[in-house]
Amino acid sequence: MSKIIDTFIAPPCHDKVEILYQDEHLVLINKPTGLLSLSGKNPQNIDSVHHRLVQIFPGCTLVHRLDFGTSGLMVIARNKAINAALCQQFSQRTVTKVYSALLCGHLHDNEGVIDAAIAKDPALFPLMSICEIHGKPARSDYRVVERFYHELENGSLLPLTRVHLTPQTGRTHQLRIHCQLLGHPILGCDLYGGLISPGTEHTPRLMLHASELHFTHPVSGESIKASNASPFGT
């Protein structure tokens, strides 16, 4: 099997990691777009959510990750026991994650389900692929919030659909590739066809934001329903 070489160098991220809640067991944060969740092997990719937070909360660990371009809610464990308890909730799929996104074009249906297996292919790295034979099961729900037009600098109108996406599984790039499969990629997605035409205007960030995170506090047993408004509209 050919060795995968990651040549990506993350540009500097000057936005802060916003701490929304903290106790002695866990931390809830709002991750900015353009920041790695975990530091890369390349020393130029040292800056990350974990690298920053471990300076504040020694011994903290990531329970889950968000893609480099995705912003929004993450829960961080402050010790190994809490990490194990939260990871179990994620693996048992008792955690609910809701994302806000802007999709290119106008979706026909107001809601629906995308059920398509996703596979890794070293030949396509960093892209994932839809593959029912070799892929792992992947399922995402979507619900339309608004259909509208965005006026570009050249005066043309770009049709967009604001949606809420709820992944039932947690595959790499799941929401991005599932939206591409719908024929409506996420605006600003450089991997799965969400970039607007060159010369129209500056390509925006990846318009994907983790806006809700529901889980059970592993110590108190309290039902946590965290929400964080999307920076590009609800």
Concerning whether 67 is annotated as a catalytic residue, the answer is yes
Average pLDDT over residues 164-173: 96
* Res 68 pLDDT > 90: yes
56 plus 170 within the same structural domain: no
β-bridge partners, 19: 29
In the chain, the percentage of residues whose pLDDT exceeds 70 is 94
pLDDT band at 233 (very low <50, low <70, confident <90, very high): confident
One-letter amino acid at 225 equals K
Please report which helix (H) or strand (E) contains residue 81, including its range: helix 80-91
71 plus 184 within the same structural domain: no
Q: Is 195 exposed, middle or buried (0-12, 13-18, 19+ CB in 10 A)?
A: middle
Predicted local confidence at residue 153, as pLDDT: 82
Predicted local confidence at residue 96, as pLDDT: 97
* Res 6 pLDDT > 90: no
Predicted local confidence at residue 201, as pLDDT: 59
127 plus 18 within the same structural domain: no
Task: Say how far apart CA 64 and CA 110 lie, in whole Å.
Answer: 29
Give the CATH number of the domain where residue 32 resides: 3.30.2350.10
Predicted local confidence at residue 197, as pLDDT: 63
126 plus 183 within the same structural domain: yes
23 plus 60 within the same structural domain: yes
Task: Say how far apart CA 97 and CA 215 lie, in whole Å.
Answer: 9
Per residue in 132-152, pLDDT (tens digit) is 999 999 999 999 999 999 988
Tokens for 173, please give them.
């790039």
102 plus 60 within the same structural domain: no
Other Cβ atoms less than 10 A from the Cβ of 50: the count is 17
Buried b (16+ CB within 10 A) or exposed e, 130-140: eeeeebeebbb
User: Which own/partner contact pairs does 91-94 have at CB distance under 8 Å and 24+ positions apart?
Assistant: 93/168, 93/169, 94/215, 94/216
pLDDT band at 83 (very low <50, low <70, confident <90, very high): very high
**Cβ proximity of 17 and 30 under 8 Å:** yes
Domain range for residue 209?
95-229
Residue with tokens 């499969």: 181
Per residue in 174-188, pLDDT (tens digit) is 999 999 999 999 999
Three-state DSSP class for residue 194? coil
* C-alpha dist (Å) from residue 207 to 33, 107, 119: 9, 16, 23
Per residue in 13-41, pLDDT (tens digit) is 999 999 999 999 999 999 999 999 999 88
| Counted domains in the chain | 2
Residue with tokens 């179990």: 88
111 plus 220 within the same structural domain: yes
pTM, two decimal places: 0.93
88 plus 105 within the same structural domain: no
62 plus 106 within the same structural domain: no
Among 23, 67, 121, 190, the one annotated catalytic? 67
Average pLDDT over residues 186-202: 80
Please report which helix (H) or strand (E) contains residue 174, including its range: helix 174-182
1 belongs to a structural domain:
no
- Domain termination site, one of 45, 74, 92: 92
